Amino acid sequence: MALFERGQRGHAEEFISSSDVATRALSVTAVENDFVEGVYGKLASVYDWTFGPTLHPGRLQAIQRMGLEPTDRILEVGVGTGINATLYPRECSVTGIDFSASMLERARERIARKGMTNVRLLEMDAAALAFADDTFDIVYAPYLISVVPDPVRVAAEMRRVCRPGGRIIFLNHFRSPNFLLSRIERLISPLTVHIGFKADLDLPAFLAQAGIEPVSIEKVNVPRIWSLVTCRK
């Protein structure tokens, strides 16, 4: 089912097929795992209050678009404080991974408080997933891909552990196609990374270099500067 917003499909395909898209830099900002862990270690105690309400509509829309079945096996890459945990049907099997021990501690507290037995949490590097090929029906990265050191490698790992015909979903902010806004995002990206994301991740270049094609791209949240990108393996 194609869910591209008006003009979005053609716009994405045009950029993905352009001559430089497969080689151009994804962002002006480079990070390492230790830096990311430090940022999210500081954010763990306030994340739900700062990024909870403002980004929640996108989380709800992502779950809705999944059309989950009771037998679905879901991997959430970058589970954070477990804020999505209660949104999944309890019949589904959910695995959440995160690199930040501080965020996982919050997630474990939430899972225990809610009495959820269908969610398991593991500390893991998203760029080196410790799962067999074709393990999950849905592999979902909410608000993660713009902060990891190597987005393409993470996407490749997500694709590897997703079963054929399964879905790979990214919920994230990506650089605007608008010339002026994109320049602003490039300028502020070295600053926004300190609050957990790169402001200038290039979506068409990311998709092309990861070798995956979207079946839908939707704008979510208010303001509508975040994208829900669904791909099928």
Task: Specify the DSSP element, H or E, that contains 73.
Answer: strand 73-77
pLDDT score recorded for residue 7: 39
3-state secondary structure of 203: helix
Strand partners, 93: 73
CB 147 within 8 A of CB 197: yes
pLDDT score recorded for residue 10: 41
Q: How far apart are CA 115 and CA 146, in angstroms?
A: 31
User: What's the token pair of residue 12?
Assistant: 């994405």
pLDDT per residue as tens digits for the range 190-213:
999 999 999 999 999 999 999 999
pLDDT score recorded for residue 22: 81
pLDDT score recorded for residue 21: 83
- Give the CA angle between residues 10, 29, 207 to the nearest 5°: 25
Q: How far apart are CA 208 and CA 118, in angstroms?
A: 35
Flag residues of the chain having pLDDT under 50: 1-3, 6-15
Distances, alpha carbon 180 to alpha carbons 4, 25, 27, 223, 225, in Å: 23, 18, 16, 17, 14
3-state secondary structure of 20: coil
Going from N- to C-terminal start, the domains of the chain cover 8-232
Q: What is Dmax (Cα atoms) for the chain?
A: 51
pTM for the whole structure: 0.91
pLDDT per residue as tens digits for the range 25-61:
999 999 999 999 999 999 999 999 999 999 999 999 9
User: What's the token pair of residue 29?
Assistant: 């900002």
- CATH class of residue range 8-232: alpha beta
